[in-house]
Structure 1
Amino acid sequence: MSHASTEAVQTCEILLRTMMEDLLAKRIWPNMSSIIDGMLKRRIELAQVYQEVHASLAHVPRALDIFWDVFLHAADGWNPQKNHAARQAREELVGVNRRISELADQLAALLDRRNTIHNYTGFRSNTLYHILDIVHEASEDNGLYESYVKEDVERLQYQYDLKYWPTLSDVIQAIGSDSERAEVTATDPATAAATASRKSGRSDFVRAFMARIDGNRVEECGFIPNDFALSDSGMASLVNCGLDLAPDELVSADFIKRFRQRQRHARKA
């Protein structure tokens, strides 16, 4: 191993050890500590990556530290198990919104029926009917509401009679309509990238990792140079080590090359 290679390996491993010690001291992100521990045991496999990353980033302030932080968070947050759970959560959210819309229709109809019975029969049930009475009751345990908001809301309630306010069924119907119109989207680029494909797979992690790199480039007010790019073989090694893939699951440089070709074709489409 050349002097440059030795320096690259030592520098990267020192950074990783320092990060692991900090994580252990703070008792946070335990899986990231395990990932680092696994990487330290696979020096030979990662030597080329260390050299490649060190050569590109070591001269840029903070870039090397940020790169490994990005990688570890991607490996921790977008392993196959967590990505599968994220996809399930997305599908569940779609179903929950659909169910809220359905139940809102039913509840709004029941509230309208109750009002009809109250108004046209000899019976009442002494239930709340003003939307602000609902707000007051729902906020009984909210000290900030009681101290700073309630008095102003009550003043409005007394100033404007019932015809100026939505009925309870109108409020419920609005909740249902909002859920029916809801469009489920990812809250960050990595989540969007990792769950973009129709089927879950190892490419999900690659997409999430690349999205996190892009989000930390100089053009995004980060520290990673805009022109920085890992080689296909370097990315493959990081995928294998970061996800601790079994021997029969390992990805190759050809896998990364094909992945990047598909990404380029998708952007042109």
Structure 2
Amino acid sequence: MSGIQVLHVDDDSSMTELAELMLGRADDLQVTTRTDPEDILAVFDPTEFDCVVSDYDMPRLDGLELYEELTEQFPHPDFPYILFTGRGGEEVASTALNAGLTGYLQKGGTEQWDRLQNRIREGVQRYRATRRADRYDTVLKALGYPIYVVDETGRFRWVNDELAETLDRDREDIVGEPTDYIKPPEVVERAEDELGDLLSSAGPDTSRFPATLVTADGEEIEFRDHMAVLPYEGEEFRGSVGILRPLDEDRLP
């Protein structure tokens, strides 16, 4: 996962200094600190940060109130926001999680900073995955062709309605299944060979090849699969995307 920009808010300057030290130990976390939550409302820019970590008990504006104010600026309801506080107890924790916050942690020893690091990474990873899924739905669905996304393990991460309807299946039944759920073995093997070429240093950017898909009733439908590798996250391979076109169409629009 690429670098994470964290905004840490605490009215105690000794805690913001400690946050810079303890969170800054991680190479993937870059920390910006603020001690006045009210000042943040005027200058907060969600495009500059991937996560907000806030104390709860602060003057004039507590951590939950700050969250309520900032949600109007968040680009998505799942934007990571974590309460990291020395006070509050079970009632505040329950209120925080029911309000939609990513997490709630009590301040403590070194192990709590380690847990906070992990909670930040988990929250940001889920958030980025959600945003990618939203982009799939918005952009790929608009093309009007059957489309799939396969993850790095060879299982369907996402399919659009057109693909599910073409095969007379439910999207939920396909997502999470290996590709041989809807493809004959020889088609799976061909796709793996084509993916290997795409991943090679001298390989093409996209690959086009005949592909057969199987409906829920066992009927085989012929397509031409236009496949490409998903953008990498650092050095991490994340899978591939395919657009299925009729065999008599020569190229993508």
User: What's the TM-score, normalizing by structure 1?
Assistant: 0.25
User: What's the TM-score, normalizing by structure 2?
Assistant: 0.26
Higher relative contact order (CA 8 A, sep 6+): 1
Point out the structure with the larger strand share: 2
Point out the structure with the larger helix share: 1
